[in-house]
Amino acid sequence: MVQSYMTWMTGHGKSASSATRFLASVKSFYNFLLAEGGVDANPAKGVAAAKVERKYPEILTNKEVELFLEQPQCVDAKGYRDHAMLELLYATGIRVSELIALNVEDLNLAAGFIRCASRGKERIIPLYHTAVKALSDYVRNIRPQLIAVGDEAALFVNMSGERMSRQGFWKIIKYYQERAGIEKDITPHTLRHSFAVHLLENGADLRSIQEMLGHADISSTQIYAHVIKRQLKDVYQKAHPRA
Domain assignment present for 214: yes
Number of domains, the chain:
2
Q: Answer yes or no: do 5 and 77 share one domain.
A: no
Average pLDDT over residues 221-230: 75
Q: Residue 132 is part of a domain; what is its CATH number?
A: 1.10.443.10
Q: Of 9, 27, 53, at which residue does a domain stop?
A: 53
- pLDDT for 132-163, tens place per residue? 999 999 999 999 999 999 899 999 999 999 99
One-letter amino acid of 24: A
In-domain check, residue 243: no
Q: What is the pLDDT of residues 98-130, one digit of tens each?
A: 999 999 999 999 999 999 987 778 899 999 999
- Both 42 and 86 in one domain: the answer is no
The reply to whether 73 falls in a domain is: yes
Residues 195 and 157 both lie in one domain: yes
Considering the domain boundaries, does residue 22 fall inside one? yes
My answer on whether 29 and 141 are in the same domain is no
Are 145 and 123 in a shared domain?
A: yes
Residue 219 and residue 153 in one domain: yes
**DSSP letter, residue 105:** G
Q: Is 208 helix (H, G, I), strand (E, B) or coil?
A: helix
pLDDT for res 159: 94
CA angle in degrees (0–180, nearest 5) for 191-194-200 = 145
Q: Are residues 151 and 45 in the same domain?
A: no
Q: Do the domain assignments include residue 216?
A: yes
At 242, is the pLDDT very low, low, confident or very high (cuts 50, 70, 90)? low
Interval 7-60: pLDDT, tens = 898 888 888 888 888 888 999 999 999 999 998 989 888 888 777 666 667 889
The pLDDT of residue 80 = 97
Q: Residue 3: is its pLDDT beyond 90?
A: no
Q: Is residue 110 part of a domain?
A: yes
Is the pLDDT at 229 greater than 80, yes or no? no
Q: Which of 131, 143, 140 is nearest to 92 (CA)?
A: 131
User: Residue 138's CB: how many other CB atoms inside 10 A?
Assistant: 24
Per-residue pLDDT, 52:
62
Output the pLDDT for position 29. 93
201 and 162, same structural domain? yes
Write phi, then psi, for 233 (nearest 5 degrees).
-65, -40
Specify the pLDDT at position 12. 87
Residues 49 and 68 in one domain: no
Domain membership flag for residue 241? no
- The candidate with the shortest Cα–Cα distance to 115, out of 199, 22, 212, 45, is 212
Amino acid at 49: A
Please check whether residues 31 and 146 belong to one and the same domain: no
Domain check: are 43 and 113 in the same one? no
Look up the domain containing 93 and give its range: 62-233
Range list of β-strands (E), the chain: 107-108, 113-118, 121-126
Quick: pLDDT tens for 163-210.
Answer: 999 999 999 999 999 999 999 989 888 988 999 889 888 888 888 888
75 and 158: one domain? yes
Residue 21 is predicted with a pLDDT of 87
User: Nearest-5° angle of CA 152, CA 159, CA 63?
Assistant: 105
* Of 35, 53, 71, the domain-final residue: 53
10 lies in some domain: yes
